[in-house]
Structure 1
Amino acid sequence: MSAVKFSVRPSEKRGNANHGWLRSWHTFSFADYYDPKYQNYGALRVINEDRVAPATGFPTHPHREAEIFSYIVSGELAHKDTMGNVESMKRGQIQMTSGGSGIAHSEFNADRNPDGKDAHFLQIWALPYERNLKPQYYAREFSDEEKKDKWAHIVAPAKSTEFGVIDKRDASGPTPIHSAVNTFATLLSPAATVDHALVSRLVPDATNVKKVYLQVVQTTAYNPNAAVKDGAVAALVKVSLGGQEATLGEGDGVFIDGATVGENLVLENVSSKVAEVLLFEMD
């Protein structure tokens, strides 16, 4: 009998905040949303799917002891921090802030036209594997073509030696993170299938058992209700691993426990829409 266990996190069961200028989904407890069952998962502490209205955003605020990265889905996000980094990010770009001993930053929708386009992005926080690190900033870009019907390795531990990580502000390859988290992204075409073999241990003394979380991005439109699962209006995928499987719509996620290094995860698009999916893998 397989030791693999799937726990589906339906989109509408996530924490939700609608402030007008900000519409946000929270996979884990965040701000006014609290659920003792969803505090973190492995090193993952926050996955917020945010839509920020034009000419609005988050004023300067502090962070410490957190690895924070933004995955831009659409629109444009302007970043400014106390390390002197000023950047405007569009689709395909990733911005990583290693909070370490302490930084402050602001994030605004770069579209200053009130009738313009929302900035849609996922902001992810991970717990660092060392405390009191020197704050750092990294920027990377991954085109849609790099993610089309394959997994692009977009984030990897800075101290890993096998994933081609370059510990510089601007470079190619995965974005460095000071946490035991690998992150992959795909844009899966209708009827396409993509495989992923679980990678080796990130922490030397860890077991071969992995923690995996898969998130389908809510790309078609903001939907405060259950994911549409007719396969025509929005993306729908089937994920299978270790004899278990689940069907996920946009905004849905699944926690996968008990899988081991080398086991193969299979993702199939069973809809008529392109599916944008993020995969997080941890010891």
Structure 2
Amino acid sequence: MVISIVPRRSQERGHADHGWLKTFHTFAFAAYQDPEHDHFGCLRVINEDRVAPHTGFGTHAHREFEIFSYVVKGQLEHRDSMGNVEILKRGDLQLTSAGTGIRHSEHSYGEEQVHFLQIWSIPTKSGLMPKYYTRHFSDEEKKDKWANIVAPVDAEGVVLDREASGPAPVHSTLSLFASILSPSTTLPYTFQTTLGSTQRKGYIHVIQTSGYNEGSATGAHVKVSVGDGSTVELREGDGAYIMGEAKKVLKVENIGDRSAEVVLFDME
């Protein structure tokens, strides 16, 4: 099977500027509806959010989603109906398994805008007991290598404690990796194998670390390629769908003049 890479350009994402919130939607979300970009495998939401100081999302309910936040800059205050209160900072990964239902709020904490990715995935089972997990990954842990920050609950090395080292556990057939790639550096990734399945889906996203930009993507510049010669060039805010076989090698090369922070999803 030929692997294909289909770009998802930054300016083509759903977008809303509410003043207090500036947000991009990779997939259909809220007022942005697009049947061609509704979900990908079990991946349902990738929102790149910027929330102004002293503002945020008031208390609201969720159920039957795995919800995780990847903090890029600033601080994010999380409160929920399970009694969790936490201030998340750069490098923190918070995962809420909403299960039968939770209520939570998210606010910018302090005097600086918070920039984070909000990601939702569809669980493999319904009716789960709600759970909350946090993990921290330093820039050094991501520099020029893949840090595995989220993995299925039954994957090797996954710890089910609220706070621990290693990837946060998710009830989805999804693994999430993050890297901060230096200029002139190439980083390979081999898609995982799952018993009984040879087909994989991937999604890669280049985070807008250099600043908010509604127009055509600028900033960091990477080239993504796979073994059969398919390539695509991406800049900050751009992403790409990847479809093909397990065990195939994907390569991400930083062809720009600055570091590129990227996240990579590997799914059935």
Superposition TM-score, scaled by structure 2 size? 0.98
Report the CA distance between 1:40 and its aligned residue. Answer: 0.4
Partner of 1:231: none
2:181 to 183, 188, 198: 188
- Aligned ranges 1:100-179 → 2 under 5 Å: 100-111=99-110, 116-160=111-155, 162=156, 164-179=157-172
Output the amino acid matched with 1:246.
V
| Residue 5 in structure 1 maps to residue 4 in structure 2 | yes
| Residue 244 in structure 1 maps to residue 233 in structure 2 | no
SS across alignment from 1:132: coil
Report the CA distance between 1:200 and its aligned residue. Answer: 1.8
- Aligned ranges 1:36-55 → 2 under 5 Å: 36-55=35-54
Output the amino acid matched with 2:27.
F
Report the CA distance between 1:224 and its aligned residue. Answer: 0.2
CA distance in 1, matches of 2:112, 2:107: 12
Report the CA distance between 1:159 and its aligned residue. Answer: 1.7
Cα distance per residue 1:143-195 (max 9 Å; x no partner): 000000000000000122x2x10011011100111111100000001111111
| Residue 218 in structure 1 maps to residue 203 in structure 2 | no
Partner of 2:254: 269
The percent identity for this pair of structures is 52
Runs of 5+ in structure 1 lacking a partner?
229-233
SS across alignment from 2:35: coil
CA distance in 1, matches of 2:191, 2:5: 16
CA distance in 2, matches of 1:281, 1:79: 27
Partner of 2:239: 253
Report the CA distance between 1:6 and its aligned residue. Answer: 1.2
Report the CA distance between 1:199 and its aligned residue. Answer: 1.2
Divergent runs of 4+, >6 A: none
Two-structure CA RMSD over aligned residues (Å): 0.8
CA distance in 1, matches of 2:12, 2:58: 28
CA distance in 2, matches of 1:27, 1:261: 24
Cα distance per residue 1:119-165 (max 9 Å; x no partner): 000000000000000000000000000000000000000122x2x10
CA distance in 2, matches of 1:71, 1:133: 23
CA distance in 1, matches of 2:190, 2:96: 28
Report the CA distance between 1:246 and its aligned residue. Answer: 0.4
Report the CA distance between 1:262 and its aligned residue. Answer: 1.3
CA distance in 2, matches of 1:120, 1:200: 33
Report the CA distance between 1:36 and its aligned residue. Answer: 0.6
Partner of 2:97: 98
Cα distance per residue 1:242-279 (max 9 Å; x no partner): 32110000000000112x22111101000111100000
Partner of 1:208: 198
| Residue 78 in structure 1 maps to residue 71 in structure 2 | no
Superposition TM-score, scaled by structure 1 size? 0.93
CA distance in 2, matches of 1:190, 1:75: 25
